[in-house]
Structure 1
Amino acid sequence: MILPATTARIVPFQGRLVSPWNVVRPKTATRSRRSRVATVAGISALRQSTSAAHAATARDTRLAGRRRFYKIVGTTPSQAPWVTLPASETAAFVESPISAGVDNTDSATGVVRRGKLDHATLRTFLQPRSLPGSTRDGPADEQSFDWHGVTLDGRVLRTPLGQPLSVPSVTLATMIAAEWNAQTPYIVPTQMPLMTLACTALDQTSRQMRTYQETSLNFVGTDTICYWEDPMEDRGLYQAQERLWGPIHELVKQQTGHALAQTLGSEGVLVAKNASKLFHPPALYDYAREFVAQLDAWQLTTLHACAAEAKSFWLAWSLLMHQQQTQQQQQSSLMVDLEGAIQAARVEEEYQIANWGLVEGGHDYDRLNSSIQIRSARAMLDCIALDRKV
């Protein structure tokens, strides 16, 4: 191999190989002033970018994946979220690692950071109330609930938007504290579903009631439980849908006096293609709007979470109705319990798994996530109803 010509002196061998291009240039080879200025400018820019990167790293408060930094988790009586705390108490809080977005930003999450609402508005939305149609209809008295927070090493936990984490149930606060206590050795926010739901109700739903109402109502016109398989094409799937979805249809008809629209097989494809929503009776759409308008932030968060998971407004509605009937000790053969709701939300997927098998790392994760989301949302309402005094 012929090396390129160079005027550099030869570097003697000193126990390691030296590239012919990695040599010391003669002193006569000087750089121009323009080259030196460019080099200095480049070094300065590099230092500035490095400093900015270090500063960004220092400001990064994400705790997801961080080692557990606290020892003792507890609960403490707290004030309602609409009560202003004295300025002297603001130092006794710890920020929440449950970020508004997956990457600690608001991107692609629908999160809107708005100014704080007035106390009267927050009180209206966050004060727990009975479900529409309950024997104890309307908002409960303030004395009916005791508010509690969660502490990490004695410091009260805050929500992502900075307000104290305060829930109207000591049972719910204890369950959230148990989620925090289970975070070892690393903090994994996805393993704290009740914490996430409570923060959603406090930070998002209570400040954007109209947005969450409309998002939930969007599922009425495209409700999954209204798209049935044609029995002539797949009788097995049709029978599974009839067994799990049929009681919900009957319950809607019993409670509202109107039947849900229902499509079979390819008819559903045509409806989805040519119409923006299902042809439910107009009275059903009116009933759904009136129903969500009477929900508090905790109930609306539960409805929204279940509807988004099952892609079904009426399945989420039936779960809330079952919770109401359970609290009133009025059982009905048409009521869909928690297990039935979870099965109804996954009837098609489970039917395909039974016929074609389960894909590990896919179907099993979907099954687990669906169960966690629906169970957690229902558990939050059960805890609040359980600790109601009157």
Structure 2
Amino acid sequence: MSHIPPLDPNVAAAKGFREPGDRPKRFWKAAGVAEVEGGHAVQLDGRTPKTPAGRPLVLPTAETARRVAAEWDRQTEVIEPATMPATRLASTALDAVCLAREAVADEIAAYAGTDLICYPAEAPTSLRARQDAEWGRWRNWAAEHGIRLEPGSGIVHRTQSPEALARVKALALELDDFALTGLASLVPMYGSAILALAVLKGALSAEAAHDLSRLDEAFQESQWGIDAEAAERTAAIRAEAMEIDAWFRALGL
């Protein structure tokens, strides 16, 4: 999504902690958490690091702060941003999503307008039957939450009602910046606002939602075999989705 930037390699930089062209170096001995006004702060040797935009790394719950602190504690000689998904979510919430909530919610609603679970394959029959059954269940779940989406077929676009999309946007805007960041990050992984909302609300695990989002790919793999590079990408996306699921739970959702 355009409003969800990747983690800046200078995340929470302190003066002098790296040389130009070098990877950021670990400059602290111990990472921890402290309760502060407005939430729970990550602490590096008793000091609160800052986001790339210079905001203190303060989280809304003790558990989210512990997850971020644990990522800092696991760093060795140099900082590897790719191994810090909770830090990325926190920084994005504090630096970007808080300033663009309406636009982020609009993008989530736009995904619902072309939601994956509304586009079952035309063939083969066995795949179509499975998608109708498994995706249909989650369209029904969405309807129970005020989101009535109509299925199409194949790649032919099916226009969804303004009311359904407005409901998705409203649900997104009910979230705080940290939960909204997680939802906005998860939606494009699945190509489905509905599956992501189901994970957010604890109705579906991130792993199960990931499997539902790739029924077509799994069918192709059963027919033609598994490509090693594709399998590696799939595993990475699955792991990232599971991190966001854990983020939701740490927020108390």
- TM-score bracket, shorter-length normalisation: 0.7 to 0.9
Asked whether 1:301 is paired with 2:197, we answer: no
Instruction: Report the residue type matching 2:76 in the other structure.
Output: T
* Alignment gaps of 5+ in structure 1: 1-57, 81-146, 272-277, 324-334
SS of equivalent to 2:204: coil
- For residues 117-157 of structure 1, the C-alpha deviation after alignment (integer angstroms, 9 at most, x for no partner) is xxxxxxxxxxxxxxxxxxxxxxxxxxxxxx21122233211
Q: Quick one: which of 246, 252, 257 aligns to 2:136?
A: 246
SS of equivalent to 1:74: strand
SS of equivalent to 1:218: helix
* Structure with greater Cα Rg: 1
Question: What's the TM-score, normalizing by structure 2?
Answer: 0.83
**1:177-188 equivalence runs, <5 A:** 177-188=69-80
Matched residues in 2 for 1:64 and 1:77: separation? 33
Deviation of 1:282 after TM superposition, in Å, equals 3.4
Tell me the percent identity. 27
Q: Quick one: which of 180, 196, 208 aligns to 1:340?
A: 208
Contact 2:108–2:169 (CA<8 Å) still a contact in 1? no
Which residue of the partner structure matches residue 238 of structure 2? 371
* Alignment gaps of 5+ in structure 2: 1-15
Contact 1:244–1:343 (CA<8 Å) still a contact in 2? no
Residues 59 and 383 of structure 1: is their aligned pair in 2 closer, same or farther, counting only changes over 3 Å? closer
Which residue of the partner structure matches residue 199 of structure 1? 91
Which residue of the partner structure matches residue 11 of structure 2? none
User: What is the number of equivalent residue pairs in this alignment?
Assistant: 238
SS of equivalent to 2:251: helix
Matched residues in 2 for 1:187 and 1:60: separation? 10
Matched residues in 2 for 1:338 and 1:59: separation? 36
Which residue of the partner structure matches residue 48 of structure 1? none
- For residues 156-185 of structure 1, the C-alpha deviation after alignment (integer angstroms, 9 at most, x for no partner) is 111111011000111111111111122224
Matched residues in 2 for 1:62 and 1:348: separation? 45
Residues 377 and 59 of structure 1: is their aligned pair in 2 closer, same or farther, counting only changes over 3 Å? closer
The alignment yields a C-alpha RMSD, in angstroms, of 2.5
- For residues 281-331 of structure 1, the C-alpha deviation after alignment (integer angstroms, 9 at most, x for no partner) is 33212322322232221221122111121121111122223x3xxxxxxxx
Deviation of 1:237 after TM superposition, in Å, equals 2.4
Which residue of the partner structure matches residue 237 of structure 1? 127
Which residue of the partner structure matches residue 73 of structure 1? 31
Deviation of 1:215 after TM superposition, in Å, equals 1.6
Matched residues in 1 for 2:125 and 2:97: separation? 41
Question: What's the TM-score, normalizing by structure 1?
Answer: 0.56
Contact 2:149–2:161 (CA<8 Å) still a contact in 1? yes
Which residue of the partner structure matches residue 3 of structure 2? none
Asked whether 1:281 is paired with 2:173, we answer: no
SS of equivalent to 2:92: helix
